[in-house]
Amino acid sequence: MALTTIATTVVVLLCSPVIGLLAWNYLVPVLFHTLSASVGTTLGYYLVKKTEGRRDRILRVTEELETNHAAFAANATQTTGSSTSSDNEWDKVDDGSSADRAAATGVDTKSPNWDGIVGFFHPFCNAGGGGERVLWAAIRATQKRWPKAKIVVYTGDHEVTKDQILNRVKNTFSIDLHPPTIHFLYLSTRHWVLASTWPHATLLGQSIGSVILGWDAFSLVVPDIFVDTMGYAFVLGLCKLLFPTMPTGAYVHYPTISTDMLDSLDPNSAVGGQGVNAGQGVGLKGTIKKFYWKWFAGVYSWMGASVDVVMTNSSWTQAHIQALWGPRRAQRQRQNSMEVVYPPCAVHEIEEAVELSEESEKKRTKALVYIAQFRPEKNHQLIIQAFHEFVKSGTPASQGSKLVLLGSVRGDSDAKRVYQLRLLVNELHLVDRVVFHLDAPWSEILQHISQGYVGVNGMWNEHFGIGVVEYLAAGLIPVVHDSGGPKLDIVVDVDGQPTGFHATTASDYAAGFEKALSLKDPLAVRKRARKSAQRFSEEEFAHKWIVQLGKLVDMQTSH
């Protein structure tokens, strides 16, 4: 009888509007947080115990590989009389300017004896793109600064071995890694993050899929530090739920959803005509889409706010991540600010391959080069229409000009897009003026940027723009979209003088082509562009990466 009375009283109180509202706003979240934290840490403890055997095996195998590597190097020295420079590099810690910069920030990165496991979450590590260059450059910097650390890469690339992956890294990016301390753990659930798996509600579906993939990763081994280099914020949220004290880091190439994406749904907004979803927020379907995107942005912000160290690839990405994650990070009292760490670009390699001089200037042709995958957001159609307008102007600068489109084709959808672009070129009577080079090798790309005149970028809100950096390093005069990384970070003034031009519409681009091909002293602009490109070198990336990862090492050693 007493229990019935108590239960009745509780129900009446909860049904009271005031008491019910207070319970919903305060009691329910507290209970949910307590319950989820308890369940999370229990599951995390289970995973730690489950993977102890594999962790011990990684440590043991690393030691054996180090011994074999040292013996091989010693034998090579006896045979040839000298050791290779790459062998010597791994025997010492990089204690030059990297350490100086770290000390200037108050971060202790002079602890080369740290020997924990750093887990890099990069399920598509063998893709060979700009995101993968970031991954491998980060691992190389980590290995050199903490040579005793063990590197684990979680990947879904089952079809390739460790040796094949490392050989491709060397051949594609000219990045040498130390094999004994790097290990690949193969995920079996990568299909859950493919867009094709989620034809509807793709953003949410892929995010849920990433959680499944994250559980798969932690079921293989639990690292000491966990770093996501692909942009899976939900995996980082899962990590903090399972292992609250584990230091986590994120290198964000672009936000999964941004305020510009939300605004682009409204045809009356400032960006309503931009992007692949431009103006789709009208009608019942559009209203539902807007609600869904705003709800997802809130969940995405909640997940991202859990990360200890956040790096973004550009000022544009930083601004959007700050707008989304910043308020919640402040609530959770995250100590580390979000830092821009520009991705490593092949600046020095291009400088060595491409000459900038009065003599080389004579070899350049009136070629407008656009390096970009044939994806819809790259907006090749806009550039072709702009080139058509430029050709129609009949100015001296337009005489003899050509548009060169260099890009990879990922599948049938890209191939169909190229076919449609060819049709457009034919309709505009530009067949003799527009050249398509599909899946061109690096050697061919170098040839085009060394002999071309202008570098073109047509994507709205390009999050960074490695191709634009390559234009600068090669001395091409860039004509880029007036947004994103190309506007804020890359094509900026040097010594108060311009390094290129910005555009938005087809007419803007046509005017930009005219200006670029009419410069009185193009060599001076090319040299300024190359000087500007130094900010994006692999060395600059390594310096900044070490500082940020050093924060995570300090957190891990203080626990």
Q: List the single range of 22-26, 185-189, 288-292, 476-480 with lowest mean pLDDT.
A: 22-26
- What distance in Å separates the CA atoms of residue 452 and residue 360, rounded to the nearest whole number? 11
Q: Is 460 exposed, middle or buried (0-12, 13-18, 19+ CB in 10 A)?
A: buried
- CATH topology identical between 97-253+310-344+539-558 and 349-536: yes
CA within 13 Å, CB half, 185: 28
Q: What is the DSSP string of 62-115?
A: HHHHHHHHHHHHHHHHHHHSS--HHHHHTTS---SHHHHHHHHTT-----TT--
Q: Would you state the pLDDT for residue 127?
A: 85
Task: Decide which of 25 and 404 is more confident.
Answer: 404
Q: Would you state the pLDDT for residue 200?
A: 86
Q: Would you state the pLDDT for residue 237?
A: 93
Q: Would you state the pLDDT for residue 284?
A: 77
Instruction: Convert 141-154 to b/e letters by CB count within 10 Å (16 or more is b).
Output: bbbbbbbebbbbbb
Task: Give the pLDDT mean for 290-311.
Answer: 90
Q: Would you state the pLDDT for residue 3?
A: 45
Q: Would you state the pLDDT for residue 265?
A: 62
| Fold designation for 349-536 | Rossmann fold (3.40.50)
Q: Is 234 helix (H, G, I), strand (E, B) or coil?
A: helix
Helices (H) and strands (E) in the chain, counts: 23, 13
CATH 2.50.20 assigned to domain 97-253+310-344+539-558? The reply is: no
- What distance in Å separates the CA atoms of residue 477 and residue 283, rounded to the nearest whole number? 43
Q: Would you state the pLDDT for residue 288?
A: 82
Task: Give the percent of the chain with pLDDT over 70.
Answer: 83
Residue 463 pLDDT > 50: yes
Q: Would you state the pLDDT for residue 263?
A: 65
Neighbours of 357 (CB within 10 A): 12
Residues paired with residue 402 on neighbouring β-strands, in sequence order: 367
Q: Would you state the pLDDT for residue 443?
A: 84
Task: Give the pLDDT mean for 30-37.
Answer: 57
Task: Give the pLDDT mean for 423-435.
Answer: 96
- What distance in Å separates the CA atoms of residue 228 and residue 237, rounded to the nearest whole number? 11
Quote the Cα angle for 476-478-482, to 5°. Answer: 170
Average pLDDT, the chain: 86
Q: Using CA of residue 107, residue 541, residue 410, residue 483, what is the dihedral sign?
A: positive
- What distance in Å separates the CA atoms of residue 471 and residue 487, rounded to the nearest whole number? 14
For residue 476, which of 494, 497, 491, 460 has the smallest C-alpha distance?
A: 491
pLDDT band per the 50, 70, 90 thresholds, residue 346? confident
Q: Where are the domains of the chain?
A: 2-50, 97-253+310-344+539-558, 257-304, 349-536
Neighbours of 269 (CB within 10 A): 16
Q: What is the DSSP letter of 254?
A: S
Q: Would you state the pLDDT for residue 439?
A: 86
Residue 79 pLDDT > 70: no
Residues paired with residue 249 on neighbouring β-strands, in sequence order: 227, 309
- What distance in Å separates the CA atoms of residue 457 and residue 512, rounded to the nearest whole number? 12
Residue 97 pLDDT > 60: no
Residues paired with residue 406 on neighbouring β-strands, in sequence order: 371, 437
Task: Give the pLDDT mean for 213-240.
Answer: 96
Residue pointed to by tokens 């990016």: 173
**Most distant CA pair in the chain, distance:** 100
* Cβ contacts of 37 within 8 Å, gap of 6 or more: 241, 244
Q: Are strands 454-456 and 309-312 parallel, antiparallel or unpaired?
A: unpaired
pLDDT band per the 50, 70, 90 thresholds, residue 31? very low
Residues paired with residue 437 on neighbouring β-strands, in sequence order: 406
214's enclosing H/E stretch is helix 202-220
- What distance in Å separates the CA atoms of residue 124 and residue 127, rounded to the nearest whole number? 6
List, for residues 480-528, the tens digit of each pLDDT value.
Answer: 999 999 999 999 999 899 999 999 999 999 999 999 999 999 999 999 9
Q: Would you state the pLDDT for residue 100?
A: 45
For residue 452, which of 433, 471, 430 has the smallest C-alpha distance?
A: 471
Taking each helix axis as running N to C, give the angle between helix 412-427 and helix 380-393, from 0 to 180 degrees, rounded to the nearest 10: 20
Q: Would you state the pLDDT for residue 368?
A: 98
- What distance in Å separates the CA atoms of residue 376 and residue 479, rounded to the nearest whole number? 19
Task: Give the pLDDT mean for 167-181.
Answer: 91
* Cβ contacts of 259 within 8 Å, gap of 6 or more: 320, 323, 324
Task: Give the pLDDT mean for 82-91.
Answer: 46
- What distance in Å separates the CA atoms of residue 343 and residue 346, rounded to the nearest whole number? 10
Two tokens, residue 283: 């009608």
For residue 254, which of 169, 316, 317 has the smallest C-alpha distance?
A: 317
Q: Would you state the pLDDT for residue 128?
A: 79
Neighbours of 220 (CB within 10 A): 19
Task: Give the pLDDT mean for 330-334.
Answer: 84
- What distance in Å separates the CA atoms of residue 153 and residue 144, rounded to the nearest whole number? 17
For residue 173, which of 140, 128, 131 has the smallest C-alpha distance?
A: 128
Task: Give the pLDDT mean for 182-196.
Answer: 95
- What distance in Å separates the CA atoms of residue 94 and residue 295, rounded to the nearest whole number? 45
